[in-house]
Amino acid sequence: GENVEQHPSTLSVQEGDSAVIKCTYSDSASNYFPWYKQELGKRPQLIIDIRSNVGEKKDQRIAVTLNKTAKHFSLHITETQPEDSAVYFCAASGIAGSARQLTFGSGTQLTVLP
């Protein structure tokens, strides 16, 4: 099955700096890569996603890049703000059993220091 590794596990940046979180996946058949943000005690919320036919996608201060050859994808947050502080999860969509499933990374605790 799919295996997703996420780094770093914790990341502290100064407000206004950029943050980068990286993930690698194992299943070359995976074709969908979402990123979720989870604030303390809340549900994970989808913030951006990318499909395997696209190399990069941007949404305001957030961007995701995908390198299918190397099987890795990254989340980039520019001009970070304190409200960006949260746990971020990457995921990759592979086939398991009868359905496409998401395999999640272990999460990155991002802290933006004011």
Partner 1 sequence: SQTIHQWPATLVQPVGSPLSLECTVEGTSNPNLYWYRQAAGRGLQLLFYSVGIGQISSEVPQNLSASRPQDRQFILSSKKLLLSDSGFYLCAWSGGGASGQPQHFGDGTRLSIL
**Interface ranges with partner 1 (CB under 8 A):** 30-34, 41-46, 49, 51, 89, 93, 97-102, 104-107
Is 98 buried (19+), middle (13-18) or exposed (0-12) by CB count in 10 A? exposed
CA distance 24 to 68: 10
Report in angstroms how near the CB of residue 82 gets to partner 1 at its nearest.
Answer: 20
Q: Which is nearer to partner 1, 43 or 70 (CB)?
A: 43
Encoded tokens for 78:
């520019």
Q: Which is nearer to partner 1, 18 or 45 (CB)?
A: 45
Report in angstroms how near the CB of residue 91 gets to partner 1 at its nearest.
Answer: 8
Encoded tokens for 38:
């989870």
